[in-house]
Each structure stands twice: as C-alpha cells, then as structure tokens.
Amino acid sequence: MAIPQIRLLFVLLFIFCTATCISQNLDINILKGINPDVPNSGVWRGFSSSVSPVIIGLPVGMYLVSQLKRNQNGKVKALHIAGGILTSMLITQATKYTVNRDRPFITYPLDVHPFDNSETGLSFPSQHTSFAFATAMTLSMHYKKWYVIVPAFAWAAGVGYSRLYLGQHYPSDVVAGAALGTGSAILSEWLCKKIWPKSHQSL
C-alpha cells in the first residue's frame, strides 16, 4: 500500500472514531463486553505497564549500543523511534484537549470497572496505544523482517486491548490511538528525511 493510501486510511479511521466518540452507545456496549467486573489479569496489566519502559528503553538502548559500535545507521534508527514517539505524544495530547472526553469509568461508573481509577486524564485517544503503535510502525519501517514486524504489532495490539480490559478507554479511543500512533510514525519519518536528507542516504 502506498504512503498516500495509508494516510487516507488513517484519516478515515480517525473520522470514524470521532463519530463513534460522539455517539457512545456502540462504544460502551463493546467495552462492557470486554471489561470484566474485577479486571485482575496480570497479563493485561503487564501490557499496559510495559509501554513506558519500552518507549524509553528501546530508543535509548539502541542509541547507546550503536554509539559503542560506532554504527551511525543504528543511531539514526534510534532517533527515528524517539521522533515517532514524540510526534505521537504531541498529536495525541492536542487531540485529547480538543475532544475533552472523560474516561469511561467516570461517565459510566456503574457499567465500567477499572483496575485503577487513579488514571483520571482525558480518554480520547488512548496515549498508551498511540505510543505502542508509533513504536511498532517505526520499527517495521526500519527492520523489514517478519520476526520484528509481527511481534511489534502484536505487542501494540495487546496494549490497546489491555486498555479496554482494564476499563481505562472506549474502543474508539484505542482505534484512534492506533491510527494516530501509526500516522505519527509515518509523519515523523517523512519529516526527518526532508529535514536531514544526507543522514538517510545509507538507510
């Protein structure tokens, strides 16, 4: 699929999710089917809690290892991952404050059972999911091997599902987070190649 088609796909997904966000019946019904009365699975808690270590440790670790090996390409790839995550953060936060949607357990306290009700930030889109898909997409663009791409996107999808299981987000939050994260990675990649073309000639 060409880059313009991918961008169009994510724009359409984002519009769909925004429409779903406005009309919450489908959102809450799907969420109620996923979120248990007592969300206690360590697996899904692990997926959610893995995001911060991965998005910090992966680019930093890659950069340090590449620095020790004097591998310029490795350092550039590490910076691309960091750039995708940073772009994702900026776009996601701007969208959160534009939409201004409360968490589902705040709007539906009798229907949604959060594992942790201290996460009181805005709901749409899911930043955990956005970070995960930005990381997975950037990795897939630089390491075009199935054994990198499949685990990366499986982890990202697991993060998205965990946000539903733990009662922290609506399905549309998660789908929009995945679209924004993937789109952020593509945007960051394009910007880096435009701004620093000489650094990407050997990639």
What is the pTM assigned to this prediction? 0.84
**pLDDT computed for residue 2 by the predictor:** 46
**pLDDT computed for residue 158 by the predictor:** 96
Q: What are the Cα distances from residue 132, in Å, to 20, 145, 203?
A: 22, 18, 23
Q: What are the Cα distances from residue 192, in Å, to 4, 149, 197?
A: 17, 21, 7
**pLDDT computed for residue 166 by the predictor:** 92
Q: Among 5, 17, 3, which Cα is nearest to 178's?
A: 17
State the 10-residue block means of pLDDT for the chain, 203 residues long.
Answer: 54 60 75 86 89 93 90 86 92 90 89 81 92 94 89 96 94 91 88 68 53
**pLDDT computed for residue 47 by the predictor:** 94
Q: What are the Cα distances from residue 71, in Å, to 142, 169, 203?
A: 15, 40, 12
